[in-house]
Amino acid sequence: MLSYQSKRDVILALFSVMVLITSCATISEFDQYSYTQATSLKVDALNVMSNATDNFYLHQADVAQIRTELSKIYEYEKNKPKNEVTTKMWNILIDSTGSSFGGFLTRWQKETKLDTAFINESKILVGASFDQVSELESGKIKASSIVN
Amino acid sequence: MSTINIDQLIQALESGVDSLAKSTLNDYLSQAKTDGENAIDDMKGNLQKWTLELESGVLTADDLAFLLKEQSALDEMTTLKQAGLAEVRVDQFKSDLINMITNTIFSFIKI
Cβ atoms B51, A106 nearer than 8 A: no
Answer whether A129 sits within 8 Å of B77, measured CB to CB: yes
Length of chain A: 148
Nearest CA in chain A to B64: A118
pLDDT of B1 strictly over 50: no
Q: Using the predicted structure, report yes or no on whether residue B111 has a pLDDT greater than 50.
A: no
Q: How far apart are CA B17 and CA B8, in angstroms?
A: 14
pLDDT for the residue numbered A6: 65
CB < 8 Å to B80, chain A: 85, 88-89, 92, 132, 136
pLDDT at residue A8 above 90? no
pLDDT > 70 in chain A, percent: 83
Whether A148 shows a pLDDT value over 70: the answer reads: no
In the predicted structure, residue A144 carries a pLDDT above the cut 80: no
Beta-carbon pairs below 8 A across chains A and B: 125
For chain B, give every domain's residue range: 21-108
B1 DSSP assignment: -
pLDDT of A21 higher than 70: no
pLDDT at A48: 98
Q: How far is B101 from chain A (nearest CA, A)?
A: 8
Over residues A92-102, mean pLDDT: 97
Comparing B21 with B54, the larger pLDDT belongs to: B54
Q: Who among A21, A22, A129 is closest to B74 (CB)?
A: A129
Interval A55-72 mean pLDDT: 98
- Given a cut of 50, is residue B102 above it in pLDDT? yes
Mean local confidence (pLDDT), A84-102: 97
- pLDDT confidence tier of residue A119, bands split at 50, 70 and 90: very high
Mean pLDDT to the nearest integer, B9-14: 85
Asked if B71 and A100 come within 8 Å (Cβ–Cβ), the reply is: no
